[in-house]
């Protein structure tokens, strides 16, 4: 019996190691937890508008598996608890609806999913897997051992903070989601994080700069180009014009 127990423990350990290795391999070329946390923390220090709150960030790979989850605050309760899942939703959305030749940020989707919009109903597709979202020890949330890592959470979110990730060669490798402040500030912070991680070789997009920049063109409740995002009451729109250029434009 003792030998059987030892063998079972060894088998469980091997299975856990194999799962962790698979998750790591599936995230090759994407930022580690430490790299995400550092970039997110630095981006949050900049003037992004909003309420200057602490943030959550999530990275997924091209298959939608969560690769890293991090936060900027002193502890897990320093940022809105609900924003952990929202950041993962945003990452999933930007990955799910971007292509090698066309990047769509979650900010670009806001107007398109409104009644009468070209993508109306999209926000009802691909629901969050709540068994993944709320599984595990809450004390591990935002750590390198976050229970979402290695799993697909799903979800669709259609306001600012989600960006597709493109490698130096232009390959679409996954996406980033950021949440914890106004949706406009979330976008600005996500943009800085992606630039810092050097995963912003964006091939094309619907903005005037031909990338996935947030578009503020809503007048009388209607986006003039169909991909607009509301302003958030602060100076986020002004600050978005000062963000680094994406790699094809900025080198």
One digit per residue, the tens of pLDDT, for the chain of length 251 reads 444 444 333 433 433 433 343 344 699 999 999 999 999 999 999 999 999 999 999 999 999 999 999 999 999 999 999 999 999 999 999 999 999 999 999 999 999 999 999 999 999 999 999 999 999 999 999 999 999 999 999 999 999 999 999 999 999 999 999 999 999 999 999 999 999 999 999 999 999 999 999 999 999 999 999 999 999 999 999 999 999 999 875 45
Under 8 Å CB-to-CB from 226, ≥6 apart: which residues? 111, 112, 117, 118
CA-nearest of 211, 194, 199 to 43 is 194
* Cβ pair 123, 53 in contact under 8 A: no
Task: Give the model's pLDDT for residue 9.
Answer: 36
Return d(Cα 80, Cα 97) in angstroms, integer.
26
CA-nearest of 128, 32, 142, 126 to 80 is 142
Task: Give the model's pLDDT for residue 8.
Answer: 35
pLDDT tens digit string along 191-219?
999 999 999 999 999 999 999 999 999 99
- Roughly how many angstroms between the first and final C-alpha of the chain, as a whole number? 64
Q: SS3 sequence, the chain?
A: CHHHHHHHHHHHHHHHHHHHHHHHHHCCCCCCHHHHHHHHHHHHHCCCCCCCCCCEEEEEECCCEEEEEEECCCCCCCCCCHHHHHHHHHHHHHHHCCECCECCCCHHHCHHHCCCCCCCCHHHCCCCCHHHHCCCCHHHCCCCCCCCECCECCCCCCCCCEEEEECCCCCEEEEEEEECCCHHHHHHHHHHHHHHCCCECCCCCCCCCCCCCCCCCEECCEECCCCCCCCCCCCHHHHHCCCCCCHHHHC
**Could you tell me the strand order of the sheet in which 56-61 lies?**
66-71, 56-61, 172-179, 162-166
User: Which CATH superfamily, name and number, covers 29-250?
Assistant: Haem-degrading domain (3.30.450.150)
Task: Give the model's pLDDT for residue 25.
Answer: 62
Q: How many CB atoms lie within 10 A of CB 147?
A: 18
Task: Give the model's pLDDT for residue 17.
Answer: 36
Under 8 Å CB-to-CB from 219, ≥6 apart: which residues? none
* Cβ pair 234, 249 in contact under 8 A: no
Angle at alpha carbon of residue 215, lines to 214 and 219, rounded to 5° = 145
- The domain segmentation of the chain, as residue ranges, is 29-250
Q: How many CB atoms lie within 10 A of CB 152?
A: 17
* Cβ pair 123, 111 in contact under 8 A: no
């Amino acid at each position: 019996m003792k030998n059987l127990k030892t063998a079972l423990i060894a088998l469980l350990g091997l299975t856990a190691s194999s799962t962790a290795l698979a998750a790591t391999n599936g995230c090759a070329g994407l930022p580690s937890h430490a790299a995400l946390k550092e970039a997110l923390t630095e981006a949050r220090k900049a003037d992004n508008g909003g309420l200057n709150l602490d943030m959550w960030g999530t990275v997924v790979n091209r298959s939608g598996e969560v690769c890293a989850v991090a936060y900027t605050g002193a502890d897990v309760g320093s940022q809105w608890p609900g924003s952990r899942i929202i950041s993962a939703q945003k990452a999933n959305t930007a990955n799910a609806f971007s292509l090698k030749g066309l990047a769509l940020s979650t900010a670009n989707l806001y107007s398109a999913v409104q009644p009468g919009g070209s993508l109306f109903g999209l926000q009802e597709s691909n629901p969050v897997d709540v068994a993944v979202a709320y599984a595990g020890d809450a004390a591990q949330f935002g750590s390198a051992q976050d229970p979402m890592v290695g799993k697909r959470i799903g979800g669709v979110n259609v306001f600012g903070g989600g960006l597709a990730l493109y490698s130096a060669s232009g390959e679409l490798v996954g996406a980033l989601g950021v949440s914890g402040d106004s949706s406009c500030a979330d976008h600005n912070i996500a943009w800085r994080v992606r630039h810092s991680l050097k995963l912003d070789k964006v091939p094309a997009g619907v903005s005037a700069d031909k990338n996935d920049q947030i578009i503020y063109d809503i007048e009388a409740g209607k986006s003039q180009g169909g991909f607009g995002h509301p302003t958030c009451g602060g100076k986020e729109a002004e600050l978005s014009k000062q963000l680094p250029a994406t790699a094809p434009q900025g080198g």
